[in-house]
Amino acid sequence: MAGARTDGRVERGNQTRRLVLGRTMAIASVEGLDGLSLGRIAGELGLSKSGVFALFGSKEELQLATIRAAVAVFADQIVRPAREVPEGLGQVWQLCQRYLDYSRARVFPGGCFFTAVSAEFSARGGPVRDAVARAREDWVELVEGMIERAGPRGELRPDAEIGQLAFELMALLEMANAQSVLHDDDSGYRRAEVAIRRLLREAAADPAGLEFPGLSDRVGG
């Protein structure tokens, strides 16, 4: 019986933690991580401040836990689905499409969580800034790695600059997100798709052999 009571408390704690982090991710995507506080979250969710404190301990830990939770959402929404596609430039395309879909669908109300918090913490120091920077570095490495793995498959031109291509693809994704969020204008998603297709074709060893499933329905082939 004692074990059942302990398991019940643990599960309730996990449920509360998920509830809190769902709310903190939404707030941070709009107001930034500085907009978070234990008292605010407790009040908005009808929880005791002591209970929230017991789960997180400090504002900084709440911020760090929010970043970790957002990384998991980003992986579920973008990275894992793209990895289901065979390696190559088609996988890179799927990764970009998944990001645009994630932004367009407002998985977070403020658009891309990491675009918002990266701007907030870019000129700061400390553990929160380091966690944001690490998440962004992981994203860059992922994009570069997917592009690089197209090489052994014979899909990438030998002179293709992987770092440059990754930079340009990411810039297009972030610009589409920013235009949609700031100006309530979704035309940037279509423009990004067109530009991404062009960049991937320019980097491809055989551009004519590339296919971009779903693109023709939106941009005319």
Instruction: Write the CATH number for 46.
Output: 1.10.357.10
Q: What percent of the chain has pLDDT above 90? A: 86
Asked whether residue 218 is domain-assigned, the answer is: no
Asked whether residue 219 is domain-assigned, the answer is: no
DSSP string, 5-62: HHHHHHHHHHHHHHHHHHHHHHHHHHH-GGG--HHHHHHHHT--HHHHHHHH-SHHHH
Task: Give the pLDDT confidence of 94-110 residue by residue, as tens digits.
Answer: 999 999 999 999 999 99
Asked whether residue 217 is domain-assigned, the answer is: no
Is-contact 140 166, C-beta < 8 A? yes
DSSP string, 138-178: HHHHHHHHHHHTTTTTT-B-TT--HHHHHHHHHHHHHHHHH
Q: Which domain holds residue 120?
A: 2-207
pLDDT value, residue 217? 46
- Nearest one of 80, 49, 78 to 169, comparing CA atoms: 78
Is-contact 28 36, C-beta < 8 A? yes
Asked whether residue 132 is domain-assigned, the answer is: yes
What is residue 214's three-state secondary structure? coil
**What does residue 204 show for φ and ψ, rounded to 5 degrees?**
-80, 145
pLDDT value, residue 5? 57
Which residues make Cβ contacts (< 8 Å) with residue 72, sequence separation at least 6?
Answer: none
pLDDT (tens place) for every residue of the chain, 221 residues total: 555 556 667 777 789 999 999 999 999 999 999 999 999 999 999 999 999 999 999 999 999 999 999 999 999 999 999 999 999 999 999 999 999 999 999 999 999 999 999 999 988 999 999 999 999 999 999 999 999 999 999 999 999 999 999 999 999 999 999 999 999 999 999 999 999 999 999 999 998 877 776 544 444 33
Instruction: Give the whole-angstrom CA distance, residue 6 versus residue 4.
Output: 5
Asked whether residue 220 is domain-assigned, the answer is: no
Number of domains in the chain: 1
Instruction: Give the whole-angstrom CA distance, residue 175 versus residue 93.
Output: 17
